[in-house]
Chain A
Amino acid sequence: METKSLKAMVKDIFGSEAGKKEFAANPESVMSRYNLTGHEKTAVLNTASRVGLTTSTSSALAFDIEAAILWV
């Protein structure tokens, strides 16, 4: 899994309030500036739709992770 561009994108989004606002308003446009694979784009969009932009311990986040806590 090549994640360098993905890391750069997340770093840029979280680097400023403007970055977060822009991603929230138009994630496709932000993603188009990075060399993401189709699989990575899907993961980015699915994550945004499940929990939004994770900036705190929101109840959506706690709910999302609780179901999959493991076993190993």
Chain B
Amino acid sequence: MDSGLQNELLRKEIIGFISLLPESFRDYVSEPLKVDRRGLSNSEESVAPWVLLPLIACESVGGNGKQAIPLCAALQFFIAAGDVFDDVEDDDSPLALSVKYGTAITNNIATTLLVLGEKAIASLKIKGVSDSKTIKIADTVNSYYLTACFGQHKDLSCSGKIDITEEEYLEILSQKSASQIECACHAGVLLATENTDLLDPLKEFGYNLGMMAQITNDISGIIYQKDILNREITFPVIFALSQAESPIRDELKKYYQNQTDNKLTAEQVSKILFDTGAMHYSLIIKESYRTLAANAVEKAEKYGADPKRLREFLK
């Protein structure tokens, strides 16, 4: 089965769960799933098929991909719920659902997505997954998402903290972001096998892939200036704040603290982040996580995993 067909099956699965809702509510709940890189997106995917990661992990260890479709749907519901809550919590996006519908309706949409995610996992049994395996997968997914919630709590608590260290920041990323990618790999593999020779390296793959992707998002946020305009302290900024010399460092601090005597524009902040090597350093760290993920795939291959589609995420 190719990616196109698998994407189509996933779309049908997601729509099937949404159709459990009254018709007048369905469009609201579908909306967060229609954005780029989500399960109901209409955009042509020219990049790695993130929405199919649990299925790809499952098939890489010899599992039945069709059984993984409800799991992919479940994670899409959880991730979309996270997107919606995140927009409410950050309150910085003019395109957020909360701007369109208000906070009360938006929170209810996110809550509904969470419940649909749980229903999707429960439906694994229809695909022939045993009750005990289904419970194990539900527990695994919920444990990862508890970690993600704690990471989000720390992120919100540190918001605007100018002296956050690289170690503190990476720990938050690992909890709030990498945990979700590790979850996709772990749960996908678990459907097929509990062999730790395969499970452990593919969890490691997911974790490092997640770290790599999140650092990539931070780099992208500087290139396209979105994070600069929102004054978000991300990975490249932490390097510059700790390594740049005065007076550049002081000016950068004023910008990120939004002080009234700040003289920098977003363009100038971007230039500082390139000129100080902050962007290059971020790329090296991104590359370092890519290598760790590649090594983990190699380990799994030694125990019989087929790495071909997993490696697409590392190109």
Q: Provide the bound-state CA to CA distance between A43 and B181, in Å.
A: 22
B28 close to chain A: CB less than 8 A: no
**A72 and B214 contacting across the interface, CB-CB below 8 Å:** yes
Give 1 or 0 for each of B260-296: 1 = CB within 8 Å of chain A CB. Answer: 0000000000100011110111011111101110000
**B220 and A7 contacting across the interface, CB-CB below 8 Å:** no
Select one of B239, B277, B291 contacting A43, CB under 8 A.
B291
With A11-B276, A47-B287 known as contacts, the answer to whether A71 contacts B223 (CB < 8 A) is no
Q: Provide the bound-state CA to CA distance between A55 and B283, in Å.
A: 12
With A43-B291, A72-B177 known as contacts, the answer to whether A51 contacts B283 (CB < 8 A) is yes
Q: Which of B177, B277, B291 has the most CB of A within 10 A?
A: B277
Q: Provide the bound-state CA to CA distance between A65 and B280, in Å.
A: 12
A25 close to chain B: CB less than 8 A: no
With A7-B281, A14-B275, A14-B280 known as contacts, the answer to whether A68 contacts B287 (CB < 8 A) is no
Q: Provide the bound-state CA to CA distance between A11 and B281, in Å.
A: 9
**B280 and A68 contacting across the interface, CB-CB below 8 Å:** no
**A46 and B50 contacting across the interface, CB-CB below 8 Å:** no
Q: Provide the bound-state CA to CA distance between A21 and B217, in Å.
A: 29
**B243 and A11 contacting across the interface, CB-CB below 8 Å:** yes
Q: Which of A1-53 contact B (CB under 8 A)?
A: 1, 3, 6-7, 10-11, 13-14, 39-40, 42-44, 46-47, 50-51, 53
Report the minimum CB–CB distance from A28 to chain B (whole Å). Answer: 15
Select one of A11, A46, A65 contacting B277, CB under 8 A.
A11
On chain A, the number of residues with a Cβ less than 8 Å from chain B's Cβ atoms is 33
B234 close to chain A: CB less than 8 A: no
**A1 and B223 contacting across the interface, CB-CB below 8 Å:** no
Q: Which residues does B use to contact A, with CB under 8 Å?
A: 37, 47-48, 50-51, 53, 79, 82, 166, 176-177, 180-181, 210, 212-214, 216-217, 219-220, 223, 239, 242-243, 270, 274-277, 279-281, 283-288, 290-292, 313, 315
- With A61-B283, A68-B47 known, 16 other A-B pairs at CB within 8 A are A6-B284, A7-B243, A7-B281, A44-B284, A46-B290, A46-B291, A47-B283, A50-B283, A53-B280, A54-B274, A56-B274, A69-B213, A70-B210, A70-B213, A71-B51, A72-B214
19 contacts between A and B (CB under 8 A): A1-B288, A3-B166, A10-B243, A10-B281, A13-B277, A14-B276, A40-B284, A46-B287, A47-B283, A47-B286, A55-B280, A57-B270, A65-B220, A67-B47, A68-B213, A70-B210, A70-B213, A71-B37, A72-B177
